[in-house]
Amino acid sequence: MRRLSDQEITDIRSKADIGDVISQYLPLTRRGRNLWAVCPFHDDHDPSLSISKDKQIYKCFVCGAGGNVFTFVQNIEKISFLEAVVKVAKGVGVNIDDALTPVAALDPRKQVLTQILKESINYFKYQLNASGGLIIKDYLLKRGISDSLIEKFEIGYNPGDDQCSKFLIAKGYPPSNAVAANITRVNGNQFSDVFANRIVFPIHDEHGNPLGFTARAVLADETAKYINTTETELYTKGLIVYNYHRALPEVKKSEFVIVTEGVTDVIAFYRANVRNVVATLGTAATLEQVRKLRQMHWHIVIGYDGDNAGQKAAFRLGDMLIKANCTVEVLNYKVPMDPDDIINTYGEEHLVNIVENRIPWMDFLLDYSLSLYQLDNYNQKKQYVLAMGAQIKNLRDDLDRKHFTERLASISGYKFEDLWSIVSQNVKPEKRFEPVSDEKPKADCSKAECEICAQMMISKEAAIRFRDELGYLSSPIANRCAILIIDTYRTNQEIVLADLLTKANDPILHDFILWLSDWPLFPKQANLESLTQAMTKVRIDVYESKIKKFKQESAQLIDANKKAEIANKIIDAQREITALKRGKKED
């Protein structure tokens, strides 16, 4: 097993034609210079995904998906970057199977913690089947969790008496590592088990490596019914989608993913033979979790609990998913229960029926929002109608817009025609992601900073001049882009966009570079004069933001001497700006 060099990856990328590779997955049509396909990364009906053979990249103008050949294979196959490289390599006759190493193997420290978690999982499983675990196992079986589900989810039992910590230390693991993995806690000189007297459910990453546990109390007097692993080097709350690795193959088959709140919800669905299910481990879903869910599939079904807290969280999660261009549906439990209670009360078939009769996001929104507005108050009714109208307007399908306008009419008592005239005003046929005609630079990055990054992308000389004369950019994303470009020129004479995207391994930087490459003002050719002007503009901007800050500071002050001091600083900064504008360099 070995690591691939950047050069090997670049060679494979340049041997594989992106059009040929994508055509193995999607039918392509030619339009103008580009190839087009129906985008597989959102609910697309017209071809929105363009493939540039010149640039060897693809981009969807609706959902924003894009990248090079590796990004495409990675996202459509839902595999790791390295697996995608190996797959593309095979397609062009290069065998690099020996480069496939488990991710954890790269970091020895994480490997040790992972090993401790694996030992603990086995220990907990053993304890569940030992005599002390009999009552617990009986409890699980009575709750409908069969032996095969216990095995599948690696459910275990951590008895009292701090036996797990003793076991790990006896096996030769330093106590500090058991503490770092959050299996063991230190009280003075004593080591105790974090999950003592609890049923433990291991939590894994997308590749199936263990990260930590969620654990249910066995004793009735325990204050917290559930506790999770605290933040460790492996476990970061808010980054994890529980059951991702087991659910992914099922999601590929069913073509949607159900999101629930917790481990017992996921297990409840497995009892009903519904296996395309994951959990956010709580209701405070994060953008990172949304990104991971979307990576699984663009079609997402929210299955949060039927109680008020669950429905409120579903409302919030749905909004995040819609903004991320997902197609969202909701499970309508109709009772204030969680999936585990529902299956225990109404049976497996009932839960399957709920999945089959899931409702569109817009239906959920119309119903849920009724709890936010008092419709017998005229103003609130009007607000409700306008808010719902704005949502209906965003729907892509004409029939959907008509259908939900009818529903809104029947709920509110307004006439369909009146509502339709609001809903059908200025409807855009498709919601465009970063429209190409928009000349506004992305996010907080100024036009001058975009110009600098763009000039550096097309000219090594520009990059060297930037490095020697300015060396920084105020916008963090543009600055990171500049650093990556300079770094790339250390081993390359020119920048190839598709290869630069490989090196941008963080999604925000990746998207910024992709966006910049399509910037309507992207220079046609290298121009050192434009670079110099842009660098001057960046310097002026720095002084101007300083002046703004000084003025704010001054407004807070009473002391006349200090005010005068700041006034002098402002004059100095203004002098620098004047000099820069005249074309002189500052000292």
Binding region for Zn ion (CB under 5 A):
39, 41-42, 60, 62-63, 65
Q: Shortest distance, CB of residue 73 to Zn ion, whole angstroms?
A: 16
Shortest spacing between CB 523 and Zn ion, in angstroms: 28
Q: Rounded to whole angstroms, how far apart are CA atoms 427 and 421?
A: 11
Q: Name the minimum Å distance from CB 33 to Zn ion.
A: 20
263 alpha-carbon distance from chain centroid: 20
CB of 323 to Zn ion, least distance (A): 14
CA distance 67 to 35: 15
Q: Could you tell me which residues come within 8 angstroms of residue 37 by beta carbon, excluding any fewer than 6 positions away?
A: 22, 26, 27, 28, 29, 47, 49, 51
**CA torsion angle for 148, 154, 155, 161 (degrees, to 10)?**
140
Nearer to Zn ion, 72 or 213 (CB): 72
Give the residue with the Cβ less far from Zn ion, 246 or 510.
Answer: 510
Nearer to Zn ion, 136 or 300 (CB): 300
Identity of the residue, 48 or 502, whose beta carbon is nearer to Zn ion in the bound complex? 48
With respect to Zn ion, which residue has the nearer C-beta, 39 or 121? 39
Least Å from the CB of residue 112 to Zn ion: 41
- Alpha-carbon span 396 to 516, nearest angstrom: 27
The 3-state DSSP class for residue 227 equals strand
Nearer to Zn ion, 63 or 248 (CB): 63
Provide the 10 A C-beta neighbour count for residue 353. Answer: 12
In the complex with Zn ion, the residue whose CB is nearer, 65 or 194, is 65
Residues 6+ apart with CB under 8 A from 310: 261, 283, 304, 338
Minimum separation from the CB atom of position 17 to Zn ion (A)? 21
Kindly state the smallest distance separating residue 67's Cβ from Zn ion, in Å: 12
- Beta-bridge partners for 278: 259
Q: Let me know how many helices (H) and strands (E) the chain has, helices first.
A: 26, 16
Residue with Cβ nearer Zn ion (28 or 313)? 28
Decide whether 66 or 306 has the Cβ nearer to Zn ion. Answer: 66
371 by DSSP, 3-state: which? coil
206 Cβ partners below 8 Å, 6+ apart?
Answer: 241, 244, 245, 248, 292
Closest contact distance (angstroms) between CB of 60 and Zn ion is 3
DSSP letter for 298, please.
Answer: S
Closest distance to Zn ion from the beta carbon of 61 (Å): 8
When the beta carbons of 56 and 325 are compared against Zn ion, the nearer one is 325
Q: Which long-range contacts (CB under 8 A, 24 or more apart) does 183-186 make?
A: 183/116, 183/117, 183/120
In whole angstroms, how close is the CB of 49 to Zn ion at the nearest point? Answer: 6
What count of other Cβ atoms lies within 10 Å of the Cβ of residue 319?
A: 14
Closest CA to 308 of 264, 372, 254: 372
Which are the contacts of 255, defined by CB distance < 8 A and separation ≥ 6?
Answer: 297, 299
- CA gyration radius, the chain: 29
